Structure 1
């Protein structure tokens, strides 16, 4: 009698347990319920390119000694540069700059002035020339506008704009050679 009761209880537990493994109906699987995502708007920053622009003349010196020497250059900038914003879907230059800084943790310089003194030093081997050029590093960023969908996906709405940012100032290009050379990058 006990073994029949155990078999009946075990069979009942297996039936109840197996019903928990059934997949949800297809009607409820494809339609988001009240737990769906709200249509929030968010922004993503994408780096498009990096380049360098001269802000002063190239200077060079020859190390006349037979040992390595530190050559120091003090130069004046000959042009002014600025960070700029090209709006596509909106936003101001200050908003674009703040968005790039916040999303990438990268500081952006708003502008540089003409006539500023900048100093660079280089260790140049004996009997070699050392050349340097003051530059800025400019990166171009797209600030993309996205929206969450009700099905918890993401939909691209377009570019809010592009930021042409000064990301390093001053930046010095250098070269060392036996004769004249052009600093890179």
Structure 2
């Protein structure tokens, strides 16, 4: 009887041991391991809006000739303007300006002064009036902060801030008409 018990124990040990030596199934061995990407942080610039703000008075004159003439206007700016920065997650105005310039490829003017003479010219047909107003173009950008995930996706971390950048200075609004008109935009 003890011989039969020993034989059964040996057989059980061989069955259990052979199970440990078995190779993984083909399905399990062909499954790729988890991907891993470095957790890099990067910034995305999103343009929100573009608008225009006056920095001087409107000037206009009538072309008294019968043919098209070039009318020239030398205007003095009466308002100073600055690029604005509203920080949410950090960063300075200089950082915001350099980030937008690098990502979007547009130059940002930090500020303008009043009392500067700016010049514009217009080709105005005979008998018509030509009006012009000096302005700035202000474009608003949001700088978003993102991070790559281990699965090679992207995770939004928040907004670094909002930049109201002066993207054109001076910018001239114009109109040509038979009578007084308001320059647009």
Aligned twin of 2:10:
none
How far apart, CA to CA, are the structure 1 residues paired with 2:111 and 2:29? Answer: 58
How far apart, CA to CA, are the structure 1 residues paired with 2:29 and 2:65? Answer: 84
How far apart, CA to CA, are the structure 1 residues paired with 2:155 and 2:121? Answer: 50
Aligned twin of 2:37:
37
How far apart, CA to CA, are the structure 2 residues paired with 1:49 and 1:26? Answer: 53
Deviations along 1:6-65, whole A, 9 cap, x unmatched? xxxxxxxxxxxxxxxxx9649944x525xx101111000000000000000000000011
How far apart, CA to CA, are the structure 2 residues paired with 1:119 and 1:156? Answer: 45
Aligned twin of 1:139:
139
How far apart, CA to CA, are the structure 2 residues paired with 1:87 and 1:26? Answer: 50
* Alignment RMSD (CA, Å): 1.6
Aligned twin of 2:151:
151
Aligned twin of 1:98:
98
Gaps of 5+ in 2: 1-25
Structure 2 CA distance for partners of 1:61 and 1:153, relative to 1, 3 Å: same
**1:94-133 alignment runs, 5 A limit:** 94-133=94-133
Structure of greater Rg? 2
- Post-superposition, which runs of at least 4 consecutive aligned residues in structure 1 deviate over 6 A? none
Structure 2 CA distance for partners of 1:148 and 1:24, relative to 1, 3 Å: farther
Gaps of 5+ in 1: 1-22
Structure 2 CA distance for partners of 1:59 and 1:39, relative to 1, 3 Å: same
What TM-score, normalized to structure 1? 0.83
How far apart, CA to CA, are the structure 1 residues paired with 2:131 and 2:108? Answer: 27
How far apart, CA to CA, are the structure 2 residues paired with 1:90 and 1:26? Answer: 47
Q: 2:177 matched to 1:177?
A: yes
Structure 2 CA distance for partners of 1:152 and 1:123, relative to 1, 3 Å: same
How far apart, CA to CA, are the structure 1 residues paired with 2:68 and 2:152? Answer: 62
Structure 2 CA distance for partners of 1:27 and 1:161, relative to 1, 3 Å: farther
